[in-house]
Amino acid sequence: MQRSRPARTVSSAPAYRAFFQELLSFGLVGFVGTLIMIFGANLMRARLGGSPVTSVAVPTVASTLSSYLLNRYWTFRHRDSDGSGRFAIFFALNGVGLAIQILCTGFTYYTLGLHGGVAYNLGLLAGVVLSSAFRYWSYKKWVFTTAAA
């Protein structure tokens, strides 16, 4: 008598592969956006004499526009992309991300009284890390949702 074999289960590896590919794409888009934001912030602060808060806000808006286009047409291209109202939601969520970045920069500059370039950039980077985690979660939840079956 032949023993029956257990039924083959579907591997979850493709789901993990898709997740890591999406996360890597998001990270690369974020890296480009971060470069725009950091170089823009330092340029505004050092060369144009902007305040620490304004120096973060203006480049972040430019970074947000490029990030939306790259995320929509590359990172999350396989997700629902009807675009109706998604752009406004994306910018609203980026407003929250911007607030996180401004809080980190403002805390470093005004609360801790650290006015040097290294402290300024560390505050920027702390804001980038925290706001990036929020943005990834919120984009998947409200902006680039999975298509309805």
Q: Considering the domain boundaries, does residue 33 fall inside one?
A: yes
Q: Considering the domain boundaries, does residue 8 fall inside one?
A: no
**3-state class (DSSP) for residue 74:** helix
Tokens linked to 122: 């560390």
Q: Considering the domain boundaries, does residue 10 fall inside one?
A: no
CA angle 21, 126, 58 (to 5 degrees): 90
Domain span including residue 131: 17-143
Task: Enter the pTM of the model.
Answer: 0.66
67 closest CA partner among 114, 29, 35: 29
Q: Which class for 54: exposed (0-12), middle (13-18), buried (19 or more C-beta within 10 A)?
A: middle
Q: Considering the domain boundaries, does residue 26 fall inside one?
A: yes
Tokens linked to 22: 């999406």
Tokens linked to 45: 């602060």
Q: Considering the domain boundaries, does residue 30 fall inside one?
A: yes
Q: Considering the domain boundaries, does residue 3 fall inside one?
A: no
Tens of pLDDT along the chain (149 residues) come to 566 665 555 555 577 787 888 888 888 998 998 899 889 988 888 887 778 888 888 888 888 889 888 888 888 777 665 666 778 888 899 889 989 988 998 999 999 999 888 998 899 889 989 998 998 899 888 887 776 54
Q: Considering the domain boundaries, does residue 121 fall inside one?
A: yes
Q: Considering the domain boundaries, does residue 12 fall inside one?
A: no
Burial of 124-148, coded b for 16+ CB within 10 Å and e otherwise, reads bebbbeebbeebbebbeeebbeeee
* Domain count for the chain: 1
